[in-house]
Amino acid sequence: MVAKGDMLYAWASDAACLEKGECGGAVTALLKYALESKMVDGVLTVKKGADVYDASVEIVTDPADVEKGAGSLHCGTLLLSKILTKYQDGANNKKLALPVKGCDMMGLLELARRNQVNLDNLVLIGLNCGGSVAPVNARKMISEKFGIDPSDVVKEEIDKGQFIVITKDGNHKGISIDELEEEGYGRRSNCRRCLYKVPRQADLACGNWGVIGDKAGKATFVEVCSEKGADLVSKAEAAGAVATSAADPKGIAIRGKVENAMLKLGEKWRKHDFAALSGNLWDDIQKETSRCIKCYSCIENCPVCFPKEEDLKKATTMVPTGQVPPNPMFHMRRLAHISDSCVNCGQCEELCPMDIPLALYSHAVRAEADTTYLPKLGEAPYKN
């Protein structure tokens, strides 16, 4: 029997999951089994839209359709926690399974604290994440750095420190992430600063880090993080949906080294980005937000910002309505509202039509507030 705390290699038994999924298709197979066994009512899948730069979501209720979400989309920068509350009532009325990155998981925890999400109705399969690349910047990067027409790319991946693209004629080309980011390309800035690479607050934490030997590329490393996760893997294996073996001790050590290297890189980018701020953060905010058109995108897409109607009415006494750009107090109130809860998902900045570095400010404020109780390097920012 699989138990909480186990470290496993897992792979799909089904040929279609093996072919379409990443690293042996274990995540796809587990999601499919959760739906087949009625453990959940639906699976929230992230699937490729018009091309590899376009990610869309779909609630799947037919197990045969789970494979729509197989494979990785590093240029898909959706935040599933907010989508869950906006369109699925926070899973209060149905049971759902979904894959989650670190920022998805942190968003769900914050939402649960606000009674916006019912975690008891969720089966969460965490995905190790080294970062994502904004779609527009990805196209520019592939054109300018790779010398490839972005429309010819059929797959992209981040592996062994490289951003790799595969074109429709089967050619592969990879460039070091470090090299790309030194020239202003690569991952989103919030992803570079992230210190939550393995989402252990999910039921399972899955990825390819630490899979070695004859299983390399053919299996998924699975860390069992909850009793619910152990139950899912045990039942899926008993039903023949997946096969497992104990993780190689050397692989476990390698996984730890990869995670620590990613965390150290995140610390480096934090120092770099925060050092770029002036000694007076208020001056920086006033200058940059002078471009604000008050579209409310930063509020609409933030996973922890849920202003009440009465709060909005009170806010008008400090922030007059009808002003564009708004009084700087508009952004200061927003920062005060989320500063203790920012999960560094980057949605406010990525979706800002005026390219205001909002995520940098909220993350800097959060990091400053956390200086006395930040977890040690390698620890998750939240504990069960």
Nearest to 85 by CA among 305, 294, 295, 297: 305
Query: How many other C-beta atoms are found inside a 10 Å radius of the C-beta of residue 212?
Result: 17
Residues 90-120: pLDDT tens digits?
999 999 999 999 999 999 999 999 899 999 9
pLDDT of 296 above 90:
no
Q: What is the pLDDT of residue 275?
A: 86
For CA atoms 139, 143, 144, 147, the dihedral sign is positive
Q: What is the pLDDT of residue 42?
A: 96
Those residues with Cβ within 8 angstroms of residue 180's Cβ, 6 or more apart along the chain or in another chain: 141, 145, 163, 186
pLDDT of 77 above 60:
yes
What region, left, alpha or beta, does residue 149 occupy, with left being phi > 0 and alpha being psi -120 to 50 degrees? beta
Residues 147-159: pLDDT tens digits?
999 999 998 888 8
pLDDT of 378 above 80:
no
Q: What is the pLDDT of residue 371?
A: 63
- What are phi and psi for residue 132, nearest 5 degrees? -125, 165
Contact at 8 Å (CB) between 204 and 233? yes
Rounded to whole angstroms, how far apart are CA atoms 141 and 164? 12
Those residues with Cβ within 8 angstroms of residue 92's Cβ, 6 or more apart along the chain or in another chain: 118, 121
Over residues 274-301, the mean pLDDT reads 86
pLDDT of 121 above 60:
yes
Lowest mean pLDDT among 23-32, 211-220, 309-318, 358-367: 309-318
Contact at 8 Å (CB) between 45 and 69? yes
Rounded to whole angstroms, how far apart are CA atoms 312 and 24? 49
CATH architecture for the domain at 135-186 = Roll (3.10)
Q: What is the pLDDT of residue 374?
A: 45
Average pLDDT, rounded, for the chain: 88
Tokens of 295: 């579209």
Rounded to whole angstroms, how far apart are CA atoms 311 and 124? 33
For CA atoms 311, 314, 318, 321, the dihedral sign is positive
| Domain residue ranges of the chain, discontinuous segments joined by + | 7-132+191-265, 135-186, 276-369
Q: What is the pLDDT of residue 46?
A: 92
Q: What is the pLDDT of residue 327?
A: 82
Contact at 8 Å (CB) between 303 and 111? yes
Rounded to whole angstroms, how far apart are CA atoms 303 and 82? 5
For CA atoms 29, 31, 34, 38, the dihedral sign is negative
Residues 161-197: pLDDT tens digits?
889 999 999 899 999 999 999 999 999 999 999 999 9
pLDDT of 38 above 80:
yes
Over residues 233-261, the mean pLDDT reads 96
Residues 125-139: pLDDT tens digits?
999 999 999 999 999
DSSP string over 41-57: SEEEEEEE-SSTT-EEE
Rounded to whole angstroms, how far apart are CA atoms 28 and 242? 10
Q: How confident is the model at residue 377 (pLDDT cuts 50, 70, 90)?
A: very low
Over residues 77-96, the mean pLDDT reads 92
Q: Are strands 204-207 and 122-127 parallel, antiparallel or unpaired?
A: parallel
Tokens of 22: 């990443």
Q: What is the pLDDT of residue 172?
A: 92
Lowest mean pLDDT among 33-37, 73-77, 336-340, 351-355: 336-340
pLDDT of 381 above 80:
no
Query: How many other C-beta atoms are found inside a 10 Å radius of the C-beta of residue 81?
Result: 29
Lowest mean pLDDT among 60-64, 123-127, 299-303: 299-303
Contact at 8 Å (CB) between 155 and 165? yes
Q: What is the pLDDT of residue 310?
A: 59
Contact at 8 Å (CB) between 37 and 66? no
Query: How many other C-beta atoms are found inside a 10 Å radius of the C-beta of residue 94?
Result: 14
Those residues with Cβ within 8 angstroms of residue 120's Cβ, 6 or more apart along the chain or in another chain: none
* Site of tokens 């929230």: 44
Q: What is the pLDDT of residue 311?
A: 57
Residue 63: cis peptide before it, omega within 30 degrees of 0: no
Looking at per-residue pLDDT, the higher value among 70 and 257 belongs to 257
Q: How confident is the model at residue 260 (pLDDT cuts 50, 70, 90)?
A: very high
* Site of tokens 């790799």: 164
Residues 302-330: pLDDT tens digits?
998 876 665 555 555 556 677 788 888 88
Rounded to whole angstroms, how far apart are CA atoms 373 and 375? 6
Grouping H, G, I as helix, E, B as strand and the rest as coil, residue 127 is strand
